[in-house]
Amino acid sequence: MTPILSVNNLYKRFSGLVATNDLSLNVMPGETHALIGPNGAGKTTLIAQLQGELAPDSGTISFKGRDITQEPPHRRSQLGMARSFQITSIFPQFTALANVSLAVQAQQGHGFKFWRDAWRDPALNGPAMEALATIGLDHRAQIVAEDLSHGERRQLELAMALAMKPSLLLLDEPMAGMGRQDGQRMTRILSGLKKDYAILIVEHDMDAVFALADRVSVLVAGSMIATGEPQSIRTDAAVKAAYLGHRS
């Protein structure tokens, strides 16, 4: 089976700091792959390079068998890569439904349509409501996004990603800043999505990581120090020393 996402020998340096150091990584179709590592290990930098917001200094990124290293971010999204941000990134003045409708619209092609009322377009609102229902936010569809709770905004971001009908979800700490209850709900939502999507997830919540991931990769100071099944990662001595040990 060929990987849906394949990262080969990626380097990224910020003046003195090596943020990504000879990093290689594969995400297989249908796999949930977790990326863990201490703060400052370069996880978000890696996600940003995968999504295209940052350009790597060297190395290649292939997505669905195609080299996308030079593709701009919006092209990568069109190809089926959907990112959720570590710091919630939504449209605060739109309703939850309108936020997701925009994602549907992006997925349907260009937006050079100047006349028809898009707020009331069933071709947009239908799939948007479906995505909201999938993550259990449909009852909040008409609420302006800035009035949603933090947990709901994280869910909304996920709904926007789903509405893009992606083949790969890049989730950058989807549980960041959530309380225990919201975090558990998000874990349940994600385990429901697992079977339908390939997922690369960055997460600090170890309960969630070990509950969701098929494989776990450990990133320390820009280098991948281990990749494997959750159980073997949990017992890996180098990982314990570098990371897990600090947290418990």
Partner 1 sequence: MADQSNPSFSLSAWLRGNWPILLVLAALALVPTFAAATDNPFLIRLFTRAVIFSIVAVALNFVLGYGGLVSLMHSGLFGVGAYTVAILAFHDYEATKFLGLFAGTDNLAISMPLAFLCAMGVAALTGIISLRTSGTYFIMITLAFNQMLYYFFVALQQYGGEDGLQVLANLHFADFNITKRTTFYYVAVGVLTATIFVFARLVQSRFGIILRATSQNERRVVALGIPPLRYKLMAFAISGAVTGLAGALWASGQAFVSPSDLSWVRAGDYVVMAVLGGMGRVWGPVLGAILFVLLEAYLPSWTQFWQLPFGIVVVLIVVYLRGGLVDVLGLTRSKSASNTEGGHA
Chain residues in the site for partner 1 (CB under 8 A): 51, 53, 72-75, 77-78, 82-83, 85, 89-95, 97-98, 101-103, 105-107, 111-122, 124-126, 128-129, 138, 141-144, 146-147, 160, 164
Please state, in angstroms and rounded to a whole number, the distance separating the CA atoms of residues 50 and 174: 17
Q: Are 84 and 174 in contact (CB under 8 A)?
A: yes
**Cβ distance to partner 1 smaller for residue 103 or 219:** 103
Tell me how far, at minimum, the Cβ of 116 lies from partner 1, in Å.
6
Tell me how far, at minimum, the Cβ of 104 lies from partner 1, in Å.
10
Name which of 39, 58, 36, 41 is nearest 49 in CA terms: 58
Please state, in angstroms and rounded to a whole number, the distance separating the CA atoms of residues 144 and 81: 26
Tell me how far, at minimum, the Cβ of 169 lies from partner 1, in Å.
12
**Cβ distance to partner 1 smaller for residue 104 or 224:** 104
What is the arrangement of strands in the sheet containing 215-220, beginning at the earlier edge strand? 81-84, 168-172, 198-202, 32-36, 215-220, 223-228
Between helices 122-134 and 96-107, what is the axis angle to 10°? 110
**Cβ distance to partner 1 smaller for residue 82 or 233:** 82
Q: Are 190 and 103 in contact (CB under 8 A)?
A: no
End-to-end Cα separation, the chain, in angstroms: 37
**Cβ distance to partner 1 smaller for residue 158 or 218:** 158
Tell me how far, at minimum, the Cβ of 81 lies from partner 1, in Å.
9
Please state, in angstroms and rounded to a whole number, the distance separating the CA atoms of residues 11 and 5: 17
Tell me how far, at minimum, the Cβ of 87 lies from partner 1, in Å.
10
